[in-house]
Amino acid sequence: MKTKHPTIEVRGEGLTISSVVAAARHGAPVAISEDKTVLARVNEAAKYILHAVESGEAIYGVTTAFGANADVVIPAKDVEELQNNVVWMLRSGAGKRLPNDCVRAGMTLRLNSLMRGVSGARLELLQRIETFLNEGITPHMQELGSIGASGDLIPLATFTGCLIGTSDDFKVDYRGEEMGAVSALKRAGLEPIRLKAKEGLALINGTSVMTGIAALASDDAKTLLDLTMGFHALAMQALNAGEAPLAEFVQQHKAFPGQIKAASTMRAWLKHTRMTLEGMKGHYEHKGHALIQDRYSLRCMPQYLGPIVDGLDRIRNEIEIEINSANDNPLLDTENKLTYNCGNFLGQYIGVGMDQLRYYIGLMAKHIDVQISLMMSKEFSNGLPVSLIGNQARSVNMGLKGIQLLGNSVMPLLTFFGNSLTDRFPTHAEQFNQNINSQGFGSANLARQSVELFQQYMAGALIAAVQAADLRAKILTGGYDARVCLSPATARLYQAVKDVVGKVPSKNESLIWNDNEQTFDVLVAKIAADISRGGVVTQAVSH
């Protein structure tokens, strides 16, 4: 049964990442605010522009051409043609199509920005964006073309061409069916319309698409951090690690918020376990045969994860500020009859934030990779079988070597994707007019790709962690059903992984028993798909 999401009011402020995700991915209905003050601001801005044209006032992008051609005067008779021509001038996107959820997120944010009432677009246009979202009409956009200065000009020009029905050359997805924009309007009972003064500029000149992609990537990264914590909790138990480094006392003496939160989260994950040293003994005790303390990847967990926790929280906050911004140029102060030429269209916060998000994803992947190597190596696993072999009575069993190799292939890609893009902008862009540019759109798309890679990576990591938990349970209890000694929180994640791959927990067999009884690619694909769609594995770590 499909979950019914509450209607999201769009009023130029108050949108959250969660509401954008709901509109973009889950079909939550979108409604323009009925607040008379909000609607009056929108209408006043549109009237202001029309009056300015009638009175012969010089306004950038209205009575002048665009960018480095701003010295070209546009006669009053051509001001509408200027706006309608822009969708053809900028129809130059390339590469693969952006996923529909990214486009829908961008549409929601463009609507929210215009609802601030400082851009000059008619309410009729805004209502059409609302209709597109609620009718499931999603313009085709491509993933190459925007440099993140003057916003996302090329993808938003494509969106605008679809919105007004410029031509069937502009394509849309209408509830899963591809068709031309004019045909889609006809099916929806709408007529093509022509843009008036400034409306083309108001629609195309903004950070909405990059910010929409960033909002989705940030939400996904939060889920992946939750899964990372769950993985580490499974790994700590499988490795018979100590909980002492997570103690509140330790964090009080290095009081970074992220470190404190990471330690607290891990303590919650491990509550009532019987598999860590404390869980087994009730207090910290030297293992006797092993090191008196765990290796850094276990002992320094709060200190390592802390900056990631803090960083992702900061990025989410910055995205939500951008979500609720007016990010085009010029901005209209209708109360004081002023026009402000400005640079709110620069997506620098998004570009820098997405560079950092990818870096944090790489850090998470590197940490996970080290834990897997500990579990796989008999020298460091505190007694687990080499390569996490299940049925050790079968001499040809090689265990999880393939899973480790998969992780070793993906982790370097994730750390490579952590390199910055925002500092690599071309200084000559658009006749040196856009001589600084954020590359926010490209950075956000790389973040989207990093998320997709990490979902595959996490699937393999969870297979290793659940297998290791089964093998530790055998050592502690004589059976392979780890639920009897895992903490309740990790038992839910453990069960979810087994449910997705179709393996019933058993005291007689571990998750992976004989090499020839399954293929890892199928198992990884099942878990990754479940994570991607927010299935039972994701739900097991939600809080």
CATH of the domain at 57: 1.10.275.10
534: Cβ contacts below 8 Å, ≥ 6 apart: 223
Share of the chain above pLDDT 90, in %: 90
CA separation for the pair 263, 280 (Å, rounded): 20
- Residue 254 located in a structural domain: no
Average pLDDT over residues 514-528: 96
CA 65 to chain centre: 36
The residue with tokens 């709901």 is 22
What is residue 1's predicted lDDT score, i.e. its pLDDT?
A: 44
CA separation for the pair 393, 372 (Å, rounded): 23
Residues 125, 239 within the same domain: no
Question: Would you say residue 272 has pLDDT above 90?
Answer: yes
Q: Report residue 309's pLDDT band, with 50, 70 and 90 as the boundaries.
A: very high
Q: Report residue 249's pLDDT band, with 50, 70 and 90 as the boundaries.
A: very high
Residues 92, 43 within the same domain: yes
CA separation for the pair 476, 467 (Å, rounded): 14
Residues 122, 224 within the same domain: no
Question: Would you say residue 284 has pLDDT above 50?
Answer: no
381: its two tokens: 């696993």
What is residue 374's predicted lDDT score, i.e. its pLDDT?
A: 97
- Residue 405 located in a structural domain: yes
Q: Tens of pLDDT along 202-237?
A: 999 999 999 999 999 999 999 999 999 999 999 999
For residues 3 and 430, which has the higher predicted lDDT (pLDDT)?
430
Q: What is the CATH number of the domain that holds 316?
A: 1.20.200.10
- Residue 380 located in a structural domain: yes
- Residue 43 located in a structural domain: yes
What is residue 292's predicted lDDT score, i.e. its pLDDT?
A: 84
Residues 141, 238 within the same domain: no
Q: Which residue range is the domain that position 106 belongs to?
A: 8-206
CA separation for the pair 316, 217 (Å, rounded): 10
Question: Would you say residue 288 has pLDDT above 60?
Answer: no
Last residue of a domain, one of 180, 206, 232: 206
CA separation for the pair 182, 380 (Å, rounded): 64
Q: Tens of pLDDT along 319-342?
A: 999 999 999 999 999 999 999 999
Of the candidates 142, 218, 147, the residue with the CA atom closest to the CA atom of residue 450: 218
- Residue 432 located in a structural domain: no
Q: What is the DSSP letter of 482?
A: G
Residues 44, 118 within the same domain: yes
Residues 413, 315 within the same domain: yes
496: its two tokens: 């979810």
Residues 239, 322 within the same domain: yes
CA separation for the pair 240, 331 (Å, rounded): 60
Distances (CA, A) of 30 to 114, 128, 133, 291: 14, 12, 7, 58
Q: Report residue 285's pLDDT band, with 50, 70 and 90 as the boundaries.
A: low
Please work out, in degrees rounded to the nearest 5, the angle formed at the alpha carbon of residue 218 by the alpha carbons of 212 and 219: 95
Q: Tens of pLDDT along 115-156?
A: 999 999 999 999 999 999 999 999 999 999 999 998 899 999
CB atoms within 10 A of CB 527: 25
Distances (CA, A) of 335 to 40, 48, 49, 51, 520: 11, 10, 13, 14, 64
- Residue 250 located in a structural domain: no
- Residue 1 located in a structural domain: no
The residue with tokens 């954020």 is 438
Residues 175, 59 within the same domain: yes
Residues 495, 534 within the same domain: yes
CA separation for the pair 193, 177 (Å, rounded): 23
CB atoms within 10 A of CB 187: 14
- Residue 113 located in a structural domain: yes
CA 94 to chain centre: 22
What is residue 431's predicted lDDT score, i.e. its pLDDT?
A: 83
CA 324 to chain centre: 18
CA separation for the pair 11, 33 (Å, rounded): 5
- 457 noted as active-site residue: no
What is residue 426's predicted lDDT score, i.e. its pLDDT?
A: 86
Residues 202, 221 within the same domain: no
Domain total of the chain: 2
Last residue of a domain, one of 206, 227, 251: 206
CB-count exposure of residue 289 (10 Å: 0-12, 13-18, 19+): exposed
Average pLDDT over residues 10-28: 98
Q: Report residue 282's pLDDT band, with 50, 70 and 90 as the boundaries.
A: low
Averaged pLDDT of the chain: 95
Q: Identify the helix (H) or strand (E) that includes residue 19.
A: helix 17-25
Choice among 48, 60, 174, 480 that is catalytic: 60
CB 210 within 8 A of CB 103: no
CA separation for the pair 496, 490 (Å, rounded): 10
The residue with tokens 């179709």 is 502
350: its two tokens: 């998004």
412: Cβ contacts below 8 Å, ≥ 6 apart: none
Last residue of a domain, one of 160, 184, 206: 206
Average pLDDT over residues 336-365: 97
Q: Report residue 449's pLDDT band, with 50, 70 and 90 as the boundaries.
A: very high
Residues 164, 313 within the same domain: no
CA separation for the pair 229, 147 (Å, rounded): 35
Residues 39, 130 within the same domain: yes
Peptide bond into 426 cis (omega under 30): no
Average pLDDT over residues 510-530: 97
